[in-house]
Amino acid sequence: MKIEILFEDEYIIIVNKPNNVLIHKSYYARNVDGPTLLDLLSQQFNTNFYPVHRLDRKTSGVLLLAKQKENVAIFQELFNENEIKKTYLGIVRGLVNESRLIDTPVKNPDTKVYKDAETYCEPILTKELDIAVHPYNGSRYSLVKLTPTTGRMHQLRIHLNKISHPIVGDYKYGDRFHNRMFEQEFNCHYLFLHAYSLKLKHPLTNEQLIIKANLPNDWISIFNIFDWKF
């Protein structure tokens, strides 16, 4: 699997992470087989890279990695100071008709302590289908833009569940009936959460960067079926 490179200079590389690929081995995903993103990049470039932030295994999209380990902290500080704007796209159950701020605290899986979390959710497109999904005779979906101001583990997935618009393909926080319908009707098996763009001022070159990641094939299939233009 060749990883798509979105931006590269002497300090960093920004890639389009495929969904269902771990960034690196971790305790939480100790039973997941297959090469990690770092494995794939090492094979592709014959060198090591150092991730600055994280994406869930099932989330695709923009990911920033440092070429030198000593530069990781410099870029992480931008995330810590909220100086990097991350934008995600999600396909969710139901019709989202208005923008809203979701600020439900999210529990840390290690400490079990709830921490403040904020996600701004904006509707983009909607679709109503005549395909029955339990317990209704039809089904409705929305494409939403998600802008988090914090970075808690599984934050977006938890927040969309909290407002009763779970992300399609989410088997931990989502709706199994809708997930199953997407698998059976559309042959789509992955989580519909995509890190679409990253905006930052490069701390080492002062270059203003706006990086966008192309959508995975599953997304393109659904956009065609739903007649969505984005």
Instruction: pLDDT tens for the chain, 230 residues: list them.
Output: 899 999 999 999 999 999 999 998 765 556 667 789 999 999 999 999 999 999 999 999 999 999 999 999 999 999 888 899 999 999 999 999 999 999 999 988 778 899 999 999 999 999 999 999 999 999 999 999 999 999 888 999 999 999 999 999 999 999 999 999 999 999 999 999 999 999 999 999 999 999 999 999 999 999 999 999 98
pLDDT of residue 80: 86
Count CB-CB contacts under 10 A for residue 139: 20
pLDDT of residue 26: 64
Computed from CA positions of residues 44, 49, 210, 142, in that sequence, does the dihedral angle turn out positive or negative?
positive
On the 0-12 / 13-18 / 19+ scale of CB atoms within 10 A, 2 is exposed
Please give the full DSSP string across 19-42, using - where no structure is assigned.
Answer: TT--SS--STTTT--S--HHHHHH
CATH topology of domain 4-226: Pseudouridine synthase (3.30.2350)
The pLDDT score that the predictor gives to residue 108 is 82
Rounded Cα gap, residues 223 and 213, in angstroms: 16
Residue 133: predicted pLDDT: 96
Q: By the 8 A CB rule, do 153 and 95 touch?
A: no
Going from the C-alpha of 42 to that of each of 3, 36, 46, 110, the distances in angstroms are 11, 10, 5, 30
Question: Could you list the active site residues?
Answer: 56
Instruction: Report cis status (omega within 30 of 0) of the bond before 135.
Output: yes
Measured from the Cβ of residue 140, the count of other Cβ atoms closer than 10 Å reads: 16
Q: How is the chain split into domains, by residue range?
A: 4-226
Q: Report the distance separating Cα 15 and Cα 53, nearest Å.
A: 12
Contact 144, 230 (CB under 8 A): no
Amino acid at site 185: E
What is the per-residue pLDDT for 24?
84
Q: Helices marked H in the chain — which ranges? A: 37-45, 72-80, 155-162, 176-186, 217-226
